[in-house]
Chain A
Amino acid sequence: MGYEEMFPAMDSRWHGNAAKRFASPFVDNPHDRIDVDPIILSNAAVACGYTIRDFYEKPELGIHCVGYISHLFDLLPVTHWFFSLPWVTELGLKLHYKETLPPISTGPIYSEPEDVDKMRVIPKEELVKATGEFATVPKFFRIYDYVAKNLPMTLVPISYGFDLVGAAAEMVGVENFIMWTFTEADQAEKLVQIYTDTAINGAEAMADKYGMAMLIVGSVLANNDIFSDEGVERYSVKNMYRYVDGCFKHGAGPQIFYHLCGNHQTDYKLFKDGLMWSPFTVIHAGYQGRNAFPSALLKETFQDKATCMGSVDTKLMIDNNPNKVYNAAKEQLLQGRDSKKGYILGTACETPPYTIPGQMLALVKAARDFGTYGTW
């Protein structure tokens, strides 16, 4: 029995409305309310009775759960599936599954700065032919072929650069990488560029097959808890630009989702004039210090360039007080809902696997109560 046989068919009436709503911020055609994107991943599998490991080990099941649970909570009409370490097995790293986490590395494979000189950018042809259960392009071809067949109205092929700095750092160990940014900066930069250029080749493979590929790229390890603004700019902002520009040159895009994960207390300013912006860009920032990044600041900084996605602290999604989510969402909505190029209500990062359903409802209820178009 295929996974598709375990789920009722998608409700086309719900999907039609959600799709129109989803398009609203990008085409100035307000419909219904501000959309809600809690970056639902393994929570969807858990909500359907599976495990976190199931979500990652059985990606077709995982992405079907995302589609199904999106309907339950009236979320986005598109499906996605990912974890934070694409492209690394092709560069030599080994990954393994965990019961309660996304796949993680078995450990770094390089330890000296000179080792970076042994690395090479993996060409597209090798990425397409890569083998092994974590091979990125074959895995995503499998996932999107499944979606095209079974959930076609939700299909948006996505290519992930994801965390260019963090994933590259896994190759040598995060502690080593951070040290090298002080002592061997050129090698640290070269490492990130090799990862970035490999990810670009992967995006081209996706675009070749599907005609386009939305780009998701973030600054996760590179945040103000770890790096100075200068470090974030050198290793993250510049490579995010390199990634998007390179992907555009190879036919991927035009949609971009920029994910500033973690604390971007002061470095957020660098992304404004450091990134490449397309007509279909969303910018999302997680935290400013320990607090959810204020949507007023997000709007002020980025509204001329992109659709803004505000954040509710993910911790609240597992706090047994729905009003905390509701009130936090209300505050963000009131600050950000009139962003010039549209606004989306999100959580600061992936909603936790064991998100309480009542808290998800509180998030969506706030969007209905304070984000309905035409009411402000």
Chain B
Amino acid sequence: MIQMVTVTIPAGVKELIAKRGLKESDVVDVVNTAAQTGKYIKKGNDGLAKKVIGGVTVYVVSDLSGHGTAVVKTAYAHKMALGKIVNVMSETEWKTHDGKAIAQGHVEMEYMTVKRTGPALVDPATGDAWVEEYLAIKTLAAAEGLFEKKRA
């Protein structure tokens, strides 16, 4: 479990974060919150943490191989709010910080008052869910755009 961490954001990642409209301070906040609560998942040396900030769910993937440090590898966000787990499928390589398996599955996703189902990493024990980067920046971003257009 992360206790106190020093968060490092390499220059290239800072550029990516800015391009995605995220604040560095929010990225640091996501990692620090995960460190304090223990709510993050791991795959190898990578940790995936998330926090809802201003109605947007911000995710940070960090390299946790260094003792007491988190080197940010990427950060991304989505506007859809994640709700309850809809189904649990096969286990993934992601684990909770104490080694329990995280599964592929689906959760309720709400945006502009519309509730639909979308893919996510799910922890059936806690009901928590995480969206991987490719889904957030491509699939959900496009879906959010469609909701905005069709609800207009």
Contact = CB atoms under 8 A, between A and B. Distances in A.
A254 B142 contact: yes
A277 B106 contact: yes
B121 interface: no
A358 interface: no
Count class of interface residues, chain A: 20 to 34
Interface in A241-279: 245, 248-249, 251, 253-255, 272-274, 276-279
Interface string A270-303: 0011101111110000000000000000000000
Contact of A305 (B106, B135, B140, B142): B106
B140 A254 contact: yes
B19 interface: no
B118 A29 contact: no
Count class of interface residues, chain B: 20 to 34
A265 to B, nearest CB: 22
Q: Chain A: interface secondary structure? A: loop
Interface in B99-145: 106, 109, 111-119, 134-135, 138-140, 142-143
Contacts of B147: 27, 279
A276 B86 CA distance: 12
B116 A276 contact: no
Interface of B: 80, 86-87, 89, 106, 109, 111-119, 134-135, 138-140, 142-143, 146-147, 150-151
Given A278-B118, A279-B111, A305-B86, 19 more contacts: A27-B147, A27-B150, A28-B113, A29-B150, A29-B151, A248-B139, A249-B134, A251-B138, A254-B143, A273-B89, A277-B106, A277-B118, A277-B119, A278-B119, A279-B117, A280-B116, A280-B143, A304-B86, A305-B106
Interface of A: 23, 26-29, 212, 245, 248-249, 251, 253-255, 272-274, 276-281, 304-306, 341
29 contacts: A27-B147, A28-B113, A28-B114, A28-B115, A29-B151, A212-B142, A248-B135, A248-B138, A249-B134, A253-B139, A254-B140, A255-B146, A272-B87, A274-B89, A276-B106, A276-B119, A278-B116, A278-B139, A278-B143, A279-B109, A279-B111, A279-B114, A279-B118, A279-B143, A280-B116, A304-B86, A305-B86, A305-B106, A341-B116
